[in-house]
Amino acid sequence: MPTDESTHLVTLFPSLMPEANPKTVNVGIIGGGLMGREVASAFARWCALTDAPVTPQLTAVADLNPDTLKWFERIPSAKLLTADYKELLASSDVDVVYVAVPHNLHEQLYIDTLEAGKDLLAEKPFGLNLAAAEKIVASVDSTGQFCRCSSEFPFFPGAARAFQIAQDTSRFGRILEVRAGFLHSSDLDPDKAANWKRMSNTCGEIGVMGDLGMHVAHLPLRLGWTPSRVYAQLQKGYAERRGVACDTWDNATLQLWVEPSGSEPFRMQWEMKRLAPGETDTWFFEVLGTDGGVRYSTKEPKTLWTFRRDAAGQFWDRTDMGFQTPYPTITGGIFEPGFPDVIQQMWCAFLSEREGLASDKFTCVTPREALMSHRVFDAALRSQESHSAISI
């Protein structure tokens, strides 16, 4: 019978058991700005996950800005800090690459990453426009690399439960409408400086749809609710910020038709706004049917609403959610999840699926779902121009 000290420790702390020390995957980040740093911090507290099958290790970062690279000096495993992303792609110490750069660079950097034989977690959008998305998908297919696109909000426990509920459409009776959206107010202040997200040449002609749309489309597309037609209402923000011209669409409301085979067609609405008074970062998803419904919004991150109609009347039931994340953590079940938590959950889903270990859990946006979102946004541009509904 083993009696040494290490065995004793393992008995006391099962997380020290060898099977709890999962495979390590080396990750490189191209673009160490807002999101690059968020992802580095998610990796740095990976110990919060209790049975993640894979542990990411940040080994390399590429960014043009020396101050940004300097920030990564605090991560001991990040040995390669370079201004040249091709140096990162050439490194044998990188298996997976996360690319978080301005949208006009996505097509080139995603294809270069895939062709370098690296797997990719791509930021949204999947290229600047539909043509770029088609080329990226062709590269995923020809290289055979594992690739997914970023969308973390469905990993909130309330969103995950809403998705689970929506999978059984029989509980809704006849679906009447679906609403999904992502709203913030970052552009309300006219004195805020312009950045690349406010210009079509760097953010894309699809503007806010490229910026926020993948988050909105993820659950509906995963549920098979591919829209057949779109009527778009697009609005621009301030034409100038501190003397710099801004020309992107800031607000987009898409009225969509869904025509599922074997059931009644229903209306779907996708809202994406950077000029939404009173909203800081509100992602929501709602399904309403004749007999039932479900509603979740990050505005009230703990609250899940479910609707039911029966002989006794119509009821909205409120469930207080805790920390029941798809991938379990050490965090107490009654505590509140937030943005950094769902970024970490999304990464755990990505790395688990990459190993073939996601089993029946919710997974990240696939290249084909990302491509479909682009088909909708492209049709939305044509709808806005022609003031008519466009088939997708």
Interface residues toward ligand NAD, by CB under 6 A = 30-35, 62-65, 68, 85, 100-103, 105, 123-124, 150, 152, 211
Q: For strand 96-99 and strand 119-122, is the pairing parallel, antiparallel, or unpaired? A: parallel
User: Nearer to ligand NAD by C-beta: 211 or 369?
Assistant: 211
Cβ 123 to ligand NAD shortest distance, Å: 4
User: Nearer to ligand NAD by C-beta: 123 or 271?
Assistant: 123
Cβ 253 to ligand NAD shortest distance, Å: 20
Distances (CA, A) of 368 to 139, 173, 347, 364: 12, 29, 19, 11
CA atoms within 13 A on the CB side of 366: 9
* Strand partners for 253: 233, 271
Cβ 179 to ligand NAD shortest distance, Å: 20
User: Nearer to ligand NAD by C-beta: 162 or 203?
Assistant: 203
User: Nearer to ligand NAD by C-beta: 165 or 376?
Assistant: 376
CA atoms within 13 A on the CB side of 171: 14
CA nearest to 132, candidates 153, 149, 146: 149
388 token code pair = 């008519």
Cβ 112 to ligand NAD shortest distance, Å: 10
Cβ 214 to ligand NAD shortest distance, Å: 8
Rounded-to-10 torsion of CA 258, 148, 198, 87: -160
Cβ 334 to ligand NAD shortest distance, Å: 26
User: Nearer to ligand NAD by C-beta: 103 or 222?
Assistant: 103
281, 339 Cβ separation under 8 angstroms:
yes
Residue 153 CA to residue 161 CA, distance in Å, equals 12
Cβ 211 to ligand NAD shortest distance, Å: 5
User: Nearer to ligand NAD by C-beta: 211 or 378?
Assistant: 211
Residue 380 CA to residue 392 CA, distance in Å, equals 9
CA nearest to 355, candidates 146, 141, 149: 146
User: Nearer to ligand NAD by C-beta: 175 or 212?
Assistant: 212
Cβ 205 to ligand NAD shortest distance, Å: 15
Rounded-to-10 torsion of CA 271, 224, 369, 199: -10
126, 217 Cβ separation under 8 angstroms:
no
User: Nearer to ligand NAD by C-beta: 142 or 280?
Assistant: 280
User: Nearer to ligand NAD by C-beta: 288 or 371?
Assistant: 371
Distances (CA, A) of 85 to 31, 38, 150, 195, 204: 9, 19, 20, 22, 22
Residue 30 CA to residue 122 CA, distance in Å, equals 10
Q: For strand 244-245 and strand 390-391, is the pairing parallel, antiparallel, or unpaired? A: unpaired
User: Nearer to ligand NAD by C-beta: 158 or 210?
Assistant: 210
In eight-state DSSP terms, residue 177 is: E
Helix (H) or strand (E) holding 261: none
With CB atoms as reference, the residue minimizing the distance to ligand NAD is 33
Cβ 197 to ligand NAD shortest distance, Å: 7
Residue 45 CA to residue 55 CA, distance in Å, equals 10
Cβ 308 to ligand NAD shortest distance, Å: 33
